[in-house]
Amino acid sequence: MLSQATISERILEVVRANPGCTLEEVIQQLPDVQWSDVFLEMHTLRRLGQLELYRTTLGWKIVLIPSQ
């Protein structure tokens, strides 16, 4: 299993490269990481204020929150 810091960094990389991407798109970009680990890390990043998730008709959209 990959470390949580590594998964978080990789998620943020994907979201930076694909603004407005969906949760499903992030999962597809990280095929070596289980979807449950991606979801858990996304939840952690959200609680830390680094990104936000919005429910749309196309799925969960991800938006980065700029650092102050």
Nearest to 26 by CA among 42, 2, 50: 42
Q: What is the pLDDT along the chain (68 residues), one digit of tens a residue?
A: 566 668 999 999 999 999 888 888 999 999 999 999 999 999 999 999 999 888 888 777 877 776 64
- State if pTM tops 0.85: no
The fold of the 4-64 domain, in CATH, is: Arc Repressor Mutant, subunit A (1.10.10)
pLDDT of residue 65: 76
Is the CB of residue 38 less than 8 Å from the CB of residue 30?
A: yes
